[in-house]
Structure 1
Amino acid sequence: MRKTINFGCWDYDRMAPIMDGRVRPQGIDLNFLNMPVEETFFRMLRNQEFEASELSLSSYVVSLHKPERPFVAIPVFPSRFFRHSSIYVNADSGIDRPEDLVGKRVGCPEYQMTAPVWIRGILSDDFGVNVDSVTYYTGGEEEPNRSEKLKLDLPDNIKVVPIGPDKTLSQMLHDGEIDALYTARKPSTYSGPNGKVRRLFENFPEVEKAYFARTGIFPIMHTVGIRRADYEADPWICQSLLKAFSEAKDITMQSLSETAALKAMLPWAAAHFEEAQATLGPDYWPYGFDRNRETIATFLRYSHEQGLSPRILEPEEIFAKETLEAFVI
């Protein structure tokens, strides 16, 4: 008997072979629900609407400290992103170097969002900007009235202030009501290197390449979570999904290397692909546990240091045990 799984996820290129049916998980009828990440996360985290979905890595880790532990993850990572490019500052704020962030007012859509967790951790490790050295302002970036998806219990030394119900972080940054913004999406008020709102690191590709050369970390943003009840009823679905998602990703990597014709509308796609492999390694977007263990361990340390996790979890604790060992085909 086949198991039906409704799977919420964005339409990434690495998911295309799953979406169009070229790859089918063994024993599973997968119904791919194509949705932007914000909708997927909200519906899964608040209401557990799907058997499985893409999940914010940070939200998933926070959920592991709840009594019900509603999800189990597999080591599939639909989204990775270097986040030095995602720190925006007001040109009049006096922030010219990362160290200048100390004592400033910093916006982030949600304190527990994965992108700001990585940003805060990197700023602390590399530039001495400790998590409690700024005041955080949370709320909608472009639309007002956004709240945290999960209830947080933060230490007293971490200062988080919700913005007003009619305010947006993007406009507040432009108007100087906050000094900086840590976010996943480029704010609409960003106006280039010489504008009122600019990036802290306008030369971010060079900065991010140097970061990878030093640390070996290509930050993980999202994982794939399965409702715990579905996992406990059919543990075999973890390996089936991991195999299928890995096969789909490998097909996409092969497609990116194609030089007979451009599969993506990027004129120098072949050059970008070759540069990525030369800089990050032949399989620069690895799935599976072993090759991602140290990146996950760094994130789990950040989650604890930033008051989101009461203790530092071990990477082995956050994934289904069936997926911790590689299988040989």
Structure 2
Amino acid sequence: MVAIENSDSLVGVDTDLLRTFLAVARRGSFTAAAADLHLVQSTVTSRIQALERQLGVRLLDRLPDGTRLTTAGDQALLRARALLDAERRLLEDVATTAEPAGEVVVGAPESVCAYRLPRAIAALRHRNPRVRVHLAPAGTRETFRGLLEGRFDIGLVLDEAPVPGPLTPRTIGSEPVVLVAAPDHPALRAEPGWDELAGYPYFLLEEGCSYSDSFLRELERNAASEPQVTRFGSIEAARSCVEAGLGLSVLPRTACARALDDVELRELPGPRRPDAPLVLVLDERRWRSPVVREVIETVTDAAARRSEPGGPS
């Protein structure tokens, strides 16, 4: 297989082909990329085929459930992102008075994507319709990997885990975390101890979710028996199991606020869970275009407002 050694391998390639390749790499499917780009799927397919012919390598493996980058595709992804960054920088340098425009990909936990960012992003889009923000649900490790591979422009994690290499973290807010049960669950009859808590089933977010992992470590450390734990990749799935009375879960308050208000869930009186830090992560090797800087400012301001006393929940 031919390796793509440097950005020169992509010089002369139609940038529309590169943008299409980045969209497929980001979404993992031709269909989803076509929807993002407002194209028919056949156009996306033909562009990827044209790019592969021009480079002389296969960039994507076509799988029954989507696509996966090949080794050459991984290399091309970084080079394509660098070339498009350079193109965008050139255009913005010669049009410094223009309103920021372009697309920004934000990797963040599901709860942040679904419950925290949409309102702030909608307000930004209302102010500047030329900004397109794609939210990509991802755990901590996937967010770091997406930043390093150039798939994400901005990362948000609910974690203070050490960041690799060129990535830099900055805490911009916090997310309240609660231990919840169905309203008639026996754990709510009195403040339970660790041994009693270990006797109940748990529905937690998948490994790598910092607040789930820290609770489970604390439970295993303080209880005599090993708890029964089911891991999910979806907050909705975990919350639904708890609402059905099947067990307990540890969730961001924002992800279950409506259920708590409607008494479909209740917060256990103890043990209280610490807030999860909301950390902005960036790749210092990457140039930050005006539109990326605007999204960073929007996200940071929204997090600061939520952290203020009396701010939105």
Band of TM-score, shorter chain? 0.3 to 0.5
Answer 1 or 2: which has greater helix percent.
2
What is the TM-score normalised by the length of structure 2?
Answer: 0.42
What is the TM-score normalised by the length of structure 1?
Answer: 0.40
Which protein is bigger by CA-based radius of gyration?
Answer: 2
Which structure ranks higher in relative contact order (CA pairs < 8 Å, sequence separation ≥ 6)?
1
